[in-house]
Amino acid sequence: MRKAIFTILMIVLFGGLWFAAHSWSKNLEVLKVYVYGTNYIDHDEILELVALPDGILFEDINLGEIRQRVERHPYVRTASVNRDFPSAIRVSIRERTPSALLVGSRMAVIDEENIVIPVRHGEPLRNLSIVSGSFRIPQPGDTLRHASIDRALQVLRATRETDEVLHHLFSEIQILDDGSLVAYTTDNGVPVFIGKDVNAQKLIAFKEFWLQEVAPVGADQIQSIDIRFDGQIVTRWRTGR
C-alpha cells in the first residue's frame, strides 16, 4: 500500500514539475541567435534568413520553417535549427565548399557536388583554380552536367589529393572545343596539354619533370608541355633544347 502511495506521489510530483517547466518555457523570449559552421557566409546573412521578430516567444517559433529559409542560401548545403534554452536559437550550418571558378557563358563557382553557386569575392575565391571554355553555365542551385568539366574537376581533385605542390602548379584548365583539356601553369602560364585521358601517374610525372627540369632554368624558357602520351613528356623549349 505504501509503495503504491509513494508511486502516486512521485507521479504527481514529476507531473507538477513538468507542468511548471512547460508553463515557464512557454513564456520565454528568444533573445539571441547563435550561428555555427560558417566560413564563406557572413553571420548577418543567416540572421536575415532566420528573421525572428523582437520579443518572439519560444512557443511561437517554427524551427522547420527557419531551417527551410536558411537552406535557401546558395552557400548552405544543410542546416539544423534548435532551441538553446533559456533564451537562444542555435543554427548549425554545413556550407557548400567551392571547388573551382567557372568561366564560360558567365562566371560562377561550382562545389564538390557539381552544384552551381554564385561568385563571392574575397580570399576563398583567390584560392580557386579556374575552369574555362565555351560551355553554358546553368543558374545557381542547378547541377552542372558536362563531361569535359567533370574531367577538368577530376584533374583538380587528383592534384589536390596527390600533392600540395602539384595542386598549386596549375592555375587554370581550359576545355577546348573537342573536349580535350589544356592546363596552364601558375608560373608563367605554360600550356600543358592533358587531352581527354585523366591519369594521376601522368600528373605525378609532370610534377617531377617540372621540378627537376623546368624550375632550375625558369618557366620562361619553355613554350609548352604535352603529357598526353603514356611514359613520355613532349616539350618545346624556347632555347632549342
pTM score, whole prediction: 0.74
> Where is pLDDT greater, at 8 or 41?
41
The DSSP code for 147 is H
Q: Is residue 5 predicted with pLDDT exceeding 70?
A: no
Cell of 107: 562566371
pLDDT at 30: 77
Cβ proximity of 188 and 236 under 8 Å:
no
Shared domain for 29 and 102, answered yes or no, is: no
Q: Length of the chain in residues, anyone?
A: 241
Same domain, 114 and 77: no
User: What's the pLDDT band for 92 if we cut at 50, 70, 90?
Assistant: very high
| Cα 178-152-108 angle, rounded to 5 deg | 100
pLDDT score of 21: 45
Does the structure show a pLDDT above 60 at 4?
no
Q: What's the CATH code of the domain at 39? A: 3.10.20.310
Task: Tell me: do 113 and 216 sit in the same domain.
Answer: yes
> Is the CB of residue 31 less than 8 Å from the CB of residue 87?
yes
3-state secondary structure of 185: strand
State the residue range of the domain holding 185: 98-237
- List Cβ neighbours of 80 (8 Å cut-off, separation of 6 or more): 67, 91, 92
Quick one: angle between helices 147-162 and 200-209, nearest 10?
60
CA dihedral 144, 150, 154, 160 (to 10 degrees): -30
pLDDT of residue 28: 77
Kindly state the DSSP code that residue 162 receives in the 8-state scheme: H
Domain end point (choices 72, 95, 118) = 95
Number of domains in the chain: 2
* 166/129 same-domain check: yes
Residue 2 has pLDDT above 60, yes or no: no
The predicted structure's pLDDT at residue 17? 42
